[in-house]
């Protein structure tokens, strides 16, 4: 029997890069990794980004997609210089030893940055567990870092047929579904999740997506109802998500998984 949990979520505040730079201006900023990660911001403490763990969240710059409902659009582009030096991030994390359990790499899309593997090694050397939020558009890079990951939250945006409409990128589904198979086969603890909006997902599409994921071996799944915080798409923001998805759809999706979570405002 699946466990249905209703969770109210709020946006996690980023620690502004300029404030962090001032706070850690006295530390050595030469990156200890071979390739320094491009960090757009950091949340020093979160109880919601890694299930059952207290974590810091590192937001990596860059994402090749332009999803209309994105609530971190400021992280889509990669700047020439990292807003927050990786050495400064490590200085903060060293001060968090004993206070948090893990570090989650989020974005943007963290696997877009080739320095991710080195950064994960740095984090593990401090004794932290590693979490990863990914949309799966780089399956080879994902497979490369998975041995360093303790938990992965994988975004699945739609059925294969509906992907390009959401990502605004041609042929975006193929890589994602390859990544989904890699995650399931890896045995790494995971949560697959889909952000849903009535203008982008019909009930039948949501159910079909859930059935596909269940059939491929996904056991932990979450539906995340669209929230307007940070979203710059007014066409989506003005549409009400009240009573979406329906109770019947929630029940039908929940029945497909060992664990199911509905997250809403």
Residue-range definition of the domain harbouring residue 73: 3-264
Q: Spell out where the chain has E strands.
A: 3-8, 39-46, 55-60, 102-106, 129-134, 151-155, 189-196, 220-225, 259-264
Q: What is the pLDDT of residue 140?
A: 97
Q: pTM here?
A: 0.82
Asked if 146 contacts 182 with a C-beta cutoff of 8 angstroms, the reply is yes
Asked if 62 contacts 76 with a C-beta cutoff of 8 angstroms, the reply is yes
Q: What is the pLDDT of residue 10?
A: 36
Q: What is the pLDDT of residue 240?
A: 53
Q: What is the pLDDT of residue 234?
A: 52
Q: What is the pLDDT of residue 141?
A: 96
3-state percent breakdown (helix, strand, coil) of the chain, nearest 5: 35, 25, 45
Q: What is the pLDDT of residue 133?
A: 97
For the chain, residues with pLDDT lower than 70 are: 1-35, 68, 70, 73, 226-242, 265
Q: Could you report the per-residue pLDDT of 112-143, keeping only the tens digit for each?
A: 999 999 999 999 999 999 999 999 999 999 99
- CATH classification at residue 141: 3.20.20.70
Domain count, the chain: 1
């Amino acid at each position: 029997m699946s466990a249905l949990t209703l969770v109210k979520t709020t946006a996690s505040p980023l620690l502004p890069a300029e404030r962090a730079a001032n706070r850690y201006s006295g530390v050595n900023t030469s990156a200890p990794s071979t390739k320094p990660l491009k960090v757009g911001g950091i949340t020093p403490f979160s109880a919601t980004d890694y299930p059952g763990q207290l974590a810091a969240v590192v937001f990596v710059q860059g994402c090749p997609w332009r999803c209309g409902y994105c609530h971190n659009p400021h992280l889509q582009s990669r700047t020439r210089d990292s807003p927050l030096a990786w050495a400064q991030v490590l200085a903060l994390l060293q001060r968090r030893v004993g206070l948090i359990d893990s570090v989650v790499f989020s974005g943007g899309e963290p696997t877009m940055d080739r320095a991710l593997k080195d950064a994960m090694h740095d984090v593990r050397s401090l004794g932290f567990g590693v979490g990863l939020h990914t949309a799966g558009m780089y399956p080879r890079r994902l497979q490369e870092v998975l041995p360093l990951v303790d938990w992965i939250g994988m975004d699945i945006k739609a059925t294969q047929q509906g992907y390009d409409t959401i990502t605004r990128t041609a042929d975006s589904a193929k890589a994602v579904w390859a990544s989904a198979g890699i995650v399931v086969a890896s045995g790494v603890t995971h949560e697959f999740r889909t952000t849903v909006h009535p203008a982008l997902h019909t009930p039948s599409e949501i159910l079909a997506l859930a059935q596909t994921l269940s059939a491929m071996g996904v056991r932990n799944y979450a539906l995340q109802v669209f929230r307007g915080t940070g979203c710059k798409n007014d066409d989506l923001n003005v549409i009400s998500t009240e009573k979406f998805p329906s109770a019947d759809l929630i029940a039908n999706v929940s029945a497909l998984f060992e664990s199911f979570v509905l997250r809403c405002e």
